Copies of this chain bind each other. A is one copy, B any other.
């Protein structure tokens, strides 16, 4: 079963999922509820991710309570105000015009944490970040599974991780890797919003590829 051979049609389908996945923000979520069964399926996809030494170091806090979401959104507002000021005054106008998160609008939020191991982990010696990287692989699985279920997902990074940990009562040793917003959408946009509104152009992949060495 796991040794299954996939076809060219299967390749094309995966490519279509990868290409139509979008970062979804609050101007695009509908209030259609997302069932527990759907969330379970998305978290099951997370658990199929690779992890260093098979450590499976991911943890999830599933949030539906509007009071919790509002506290998180307040951290976003504070940090977003600060973040905006790092750009030129010209770019600040465009920055302000963009909706960058959907914390309150999304029916479900999921905070994703890394739980470091107290024992040595196979493969996690010289590159300790591989623990967190495993959690990121799980998040990408969640993003793709959500998309193929026609559920949008947005990753909010403009947050104070310590504030989020405090709101969610996370023990000190846990590291916040991502804060995700999930829900059904009005539409999946043709292109990333930052590309469409000319914040950042798509880079030709060829420029990022080197042969044998730099």
Contact = CB atoms under 8 A, between A and B. Distances in A.
Interface residues of A, number: 107
B213 A61 contact: yes
A49 to B, nearest CB: 7
Contact of A122 (B124, B194, B195): B194
Contact of A133 (B170, B178, B203, B210): B178
A50 B21 contact: yes
Given A2-B19, A169-B214, 5 more contacts: A1-B20, A1-B190, A3-B20, A3-B187, A82-B125
Contacts of A157: 52, 123-127, 130
30 contacts: A1-B20, A2-B19, A2-B20, A2-B190, A3-B20, A3-B188, A3-B189, A6-B150, A10-B148, A11-B145, A14-B14, A18-B145, A21-B50, A43-B209, A44-B205, A50-B155, A54-B192, A54-B195, A60-B209, A62-B211, A68-B213, A100-B122, A100-B123, A123-B157, A126-B159, A133-B139, A133-B178, A168-B213, A168-B214, A169-B213
